[in-house]
Amino acid sequence: MEQATEQDIQDLQREVDDLSEELSKLQAQLKKKESPKIIKNPDLTRLEKLLKDYIEAIIKEGGMKDIEHWVYEEAMEALYGKTIWDWVNKNQTW
């Protein structure tokens, strides 16, 4: 069996270092993609008010423009917290 040279050892160490760096990056990506958790006791007050305002707008004016967008945003923030958009922006790929 042939003895490893100093150069062989250095080459292997570089490969180990490169693989360790790649592993660290992959682990960071996995951590970044962990699903956010729903708040245990979400405050739905603002969402309820928005929905009531929408019903009132239908009665008085026939509807409310862009309501789906506003309900979506309010529901996401109510259930996941206002920082949900940081997670969305970091993880959404389109």
Give the pLDDT confidence of 55-90 residue by residue, as tens digits.
999 999 999 999 999 999 999 999 999 999 998 998
Half-sphere exposure of 84 (CA within 13 A, CB side): 16
Which has more pLDDT, 84 or 27?
Answer: 84
Q: Are 38 and 79 in contact (CB under 8 A)?
A: yes
If pLDDT is split at 50, 70 and 90, which confidence band does 32 have? Answer: low
Residues contacting 75, CB < 8 A, separation 6+:
47
* CA–CA separation, 89 and 76 (whole Å): 13
Spatial separation of the C-alpha atoms in residues 69 and 23, rounded to whole Å: 39
pLDDT band at 34 (very low <50, low <70, confident <90, very high): confident
**41 alpha carbon, distance to own chain's centre:** 20
